[in-house]
Amino acid sequence: MPNPTAAMLVIGDEILSGRTRDSNMHFLAGELTKHGIDLKEARFVSDDAEAIETAVKALSQAYDHVFTSGGIGPTHDDITADAIAHAFGVGIGIREDARALLEAHYEKTGLELNAARLRMARIPDVATLIENPVSTAPGFTLGNVHVMAGVPVVFQAMVASVLPTLTGGAPLLSQTLRVERGEGDIAETLSLLAEAFDDLSIGCYPFQVNGVFGANVVVRGTDGARIDAAITRLAKELGV
């Protein structure tokens, strides 16, 4: 059986403006790879309700899971929860389970649970909360969409909360062969290898170091023996 599929939706003007560098997609890709879920697509959208709704509808229909990051904080531009609730046609408001978590957290810290912070308890009616052991304010899962914070340390904690609840497949394995020859010199060999091992993914990534041109050939798949065989054949044919 093929592995489950996933997409990621990164939300935020600060990402698209270049002000903030996204690291969440890199982290998620690595974690999904280990869990046996194939990340097939990533999209970046601004803090625009229509853009978020359009993207989440398309991705949720195309893939088994969708992971979002960004836009569930306490400020006016945090509109992700409302946009996703609207995309699924469900109500949204302050949920008592989410409110109780925030009340306990802010009582412990001595800070006021003001109107702005209470916005983080706005959760779609039928969604399931995602635990946030870092700063308490929860994410949520609605259908096959997992909605999480954009702050990397919180996003990572939420991913750790969600992944154990998802059924994965075979972890993706990989091996790399470094070849100090140009892509044009090895392209035909790689094409023949890809035909012979069509159950594997074979990528070629060029580099130039101190005037030397070369390429890292990466072979990926779920069968370690097949990967070994492909790398052995490639090394022999290229004389590496």
Q: What is the pLDDT of residue 2?
A: 86
Domain boundaries, the chain: 5-165, 173-238
Strand arrangement, sheet containing 173-179: 173-179, 212-221, 201-209
Taking the C-alpha atoms of residue 240 and residue 5, their distance in angstroms, rounded to an integer, is 35
Strand arrangement, sheet containing 65-69: 38-45, 5-11, 65-69, 145-148, 139-142, 128-130
Helix 152-162 crosses helix 24-35 at what angle (to 10 degrees)?
A: 20
pTM (2 decimals)? 0.88
Task: Give the mean pLDDT of 74-97.
Answer: 96
Asked whether the predicted pLDDT for residue 154 surpasses 90, the reply is: yes
Q: What is the pLDDT of residues 30-83, one digit of tens each?
A: 999 999 999 999 999 999 999 999 999 999 999 999 999 999 999 999 999 999
Q: Which CATH architecture has domain 173-238?
A: 2-Layer Sandwich (3.30)
Q: What is the pLDDT of residues 177-229, one digit of tens each?
A: 999 998 999 999 999 999 999 999 999 999 998 888 899 999 999 999 999 99
CA 211 to chain centre: 36
Q: What is the pLDDT of residues 6-40, one digit of tens each?
A: 999 999 999 999 999 999 999 999 999 999 999 99
Is the domain covering 5-165 a CATH 2.70.98.10 domain? no
Asked whether the predicted pLDDT for residue 1 surpasses 80, the reply is: no
